[in-house]
Amino acid sequence: MNRLDDVRSILSSLVAFDTTSRRSNLDLITWTEAFLDPWATSVIRLPSRDGLKANLWARFGPDEPGGWVLSGHTDVVPVDGQPWETDPWTLTERSGRLYGRGASDMKGFLALCLAHARQFSGRPLKRPVHFAFSYDEEVGCAGVGPMIEQIMLRGAAPSVVWVGEPTLWNVVSAHKGVRVYDVVVTGKDAHSSNPALGASAIHEALELLVTLRGIARRAEMSPVADPTFEPAYPTLTIGAISGGTAANILARECRFTFDLRSTPDVDPDELLTPFFDQVHRSRERLSVHGPECGVSVQMNANAPGLGRRSDSEAERLLRLLTGDNAVRSVAYATEAGLFQQAGLSSVICGPGSIDQAHQPNEFLAVSELERGLQIFDRFLGIIS
């Protein structure tokens, strides 16, 4: 079996595991542990609190600080309701494309990492190479945090974190942060003929929604710190809203969710201050109608942005490996921001196109794997 066939075979095995975020990833983790066992110096499983999922931290070479982390997530998004032309859990090759859920986002990079485990094992490494495979990236980068904490606690802080999200092997050195909030307004139902006897949750929600729209409009007018982002300013959108039962009943409940994507130079807490001030006022108004009335705000995702560090070791390494010197930023979030928040030099670069992520008939071009083999050859030349 040649090297490309080896990568293709590993990718086929990875795609076959349905690791949709709502499901466990443990079968894939167990398979990966067995795959790495002959080659890695250590393989550590880091379970989630409920034990249903796990991160995987593997090391090649000496147990000391420094070295390189190759990072990727094992979970994928659902295929429900999408018009797939092939079985999403069976890697299918057609006309130079490999179809399957996660092929591009981002099991292709994981397959390249695993296909080189033997080479990493056989090199006299002076600094370690790590694999960091996470869970729940697709639901707000929720799973990788405990693994980063363990990395730092073990005194194994790396010099470079290479996050292999799909970029067509272009270097991406900055991305926006993402927060997602669910808001529940609880009022008091009453007949619409006498509104003073109740409190409409919808009316109170409107005050909050108008405040959020004001924040969004002001953000559009804010000074542009990094024009490489598109759009170059923070964005805030209302994604869903529901509430009420009938035209002649004051709504007891109104729910909505909103998404904030802030550039790395913007403090999201400061940006949202007017909203939380309005939440406080709404709670005070509603409280007179009973203790059950009020406003609940829950943050369901919080992925920090990745700030540009043009002179970082991570960026220098990936530019050397790829030959790419263009300056790029993206509006989607990755785990790179969390690694950087922990003080680790991080950059994004990997096979496949982000345009394929989350789509029906997701595919990874075979040519992307071929280029990946060349890039990994250069990496092997640098680390040994």
The residues annotated with a catalytic role in the active site are 75, 137
Q: Burial, 113: exposed, middle or buried (Cβ in 10 Å; 0-12, 13-18, 19+)? A: buried
DSSP 164-220: ---STT--B-EE-EEEEEEEEEE-B--BTT-GGGSB-HHHHHHHHHHHHHHHHHHHH
DSSP 3-20: HHHHHHHHHHHHHTS--B
Residue pair 297/204 in contact by the 8 Å Cβ criterion:
no
Q: Between the CA atoms of 341, 131, 381 and 3, what dihedral angle is there, to the nearest 10 degrees? A: -140
E strands in 13-102:
42-47, 54-60, 68-73, 92-94, 97-99
**What is the 8-class DSSP label of residue 107?**
I
- What φ, ψ does residue 299 adopt, rounded to 5°? -90, 115
CA–CA dist 87, 361 (Å, integer): 9
**What is the 8-class DSSP label of residue 344?**
-
Q: Burial, 99: exposed, middle or buried (Cβ in 10 Å; 0-12, 13-18, 19+)? A: buried
Ordered strands of the 97-99 beta sheet? 92-94, 97-99, 363-365
